[in-house]
Homo-oligomer: A and B are copies of this chain.
Amino acid sequence: MIERVSFENDYNTGCHPRILEALLQTNTERTSGYGLDKYCVEASFLIKKACHAPEADVHFLVGGTQVNLIVIAGILKPWQGVIAAETGHINVHEAGAIEATGHKILVVESQDGLLTAEAIDRYCHSYHDDPTAEHMVQPGMIYISQTTELGTVYHLRELQKIRQVADRWGLTLFVDGARLASALAIEESQIDLPVLAELTDVFSIGGTKCGALFGEAVVIINDSLKKDFRSLIKQKGGLLAKGRLLGIQFRELFRDQLYMEIGQHENDMAAVLASRFSACGFEFYAPPLSNQLFVIMDEREEASFLERAVFERITVLEDGRRVCRFVTSFSTEMTEIDTLFTK
């Protein structure tokens, strides 16, 4: 059997060669543990600089579910819940991680994975107008992802409106940036790192899906959320002993434009992939924008692609057609796309 090419996800290889090289170069050095080393300090500095947010706190965690459960558990009051889209990662694919910290996810209607400021506002109105509100879970936070689980992105205009809604109802705004590199490469969204630092209370910068071996940076903007955060990370099992591994990786991603370049590469490869699918007459389940494509195909077509490639089937539509996900990563090559479309 021929080796199939893989568009299964953006974490199916190791890391970007430059990151590997940095790990090699530093392997024998001795440093303090738990992120109290010079590499974490420097990576933190570089990220704050890239965000135009010198006052931010930056923490480095290993994985995305860890980030979400720690940030959310750290911020919400015991009687509060977090607003999310039905497709939100925390609502579907974290095995109840948020609820395990004691908090309900308050599902608000969404479109293509995107919440709207209006829907959030309506939800909060309805909570606060309800005479039995104190018997219900109080919204305390808004969780959105950039890019979303469906590969779509928020536009600056919408993010500004969501910020206003957050302020109106006293909600914390948290952006899950597990795939932020890809999102940042979409210029028409008009959302760059300084914008995130300006409009959110806290956001994450994904490494795992953006060229690192592992690692997510949490950027805390809101002063009131900064205190004792490392204790919470430790409590939830998120404080890496050899924490410098995170610092070394993020230093490499942010000491020049590597993080942005990886996002651009992912999107470029996805654009090629999308145009090939379109050229073959395929339609998309959600608009193709970032490094995840959701292609609608019938059973026969799916089987045919499966001969040459690994990818995930996300769901089966009522008419029997499949929604299949193709993901590009820092290491996706044109030849793999060619192989996928070889007859």
A residues adjacent to B (C-beta < 8 A): 6, 8-9, 11-15, 17, 20, 23-24, 26-34, 62-66, 68-70, 73-74, 77-79, 81, 92-97, 99-105, 131-132, 134-138, 208-209, 213-214, 228, 230-232, 234-242, 245, 310, 312, 331
Contacts and interface: CB of A to CB of B under 8 A. Distances in A.
B214 A97 contact: no
Nearest to A236: B237
18 contacts: A11-B33, A20-B27, A32-B310, A62-B240, A63-B237, A63-B240, A64-B241, A73-B78, A78-B101, A79-B96, A79-B232, A96-B104, A99-B104, A100-B102, A135-B239, A213-B242, A213-B245, A237-B238
> Which 10 pairs show the lowest CB-CB distances between chains A and B?
A14-B27, A66-B237, A95-B235, A79-B231, A95-B234, A96-B137, A99-B104, A11-B241, A6-B30, A65-B237
A99 B102 contact: yes
B33 A235 contact: no
Contacts of A29: 13-14
Contacts of A239: 63, 65, 135
A95 B231 contact: yes
A119 to B, nearest CB: 16
Contact of A235 (B14, B62, B96, B230): B96
B99 A99 contact: yes
Nearest to A245: B213
Nearest to A228: B79
Nearest to A97: B235
A312 B15 CA distance: 34
A213 B228 CA distance: 26
Interface centre among A136, A231, A238 (most CB of B within 10 A): A231
A68 B78 CA distance: 15
A213 B249 CA distance: 13
A124 to B, nearest CB: 15
A242 B11 contact: yes
A234 to B, nearest CB: 4
Contacts of A68: 237
A99 B235 CA distance: 9
A100 B98 CA distance: 10
B24 A24 contact: yes
Contact of A62 (B33, B62, B136, B310): B62
Contacts of A24: 20, 24
B14 A136 contact: no
A29 B15 CA distance: 10
Nearest to A103: B99
Contacts of A14: 23, 26-29, 242, 245
Contacts of A137: 95-96, 99
Nearest to A5: B30
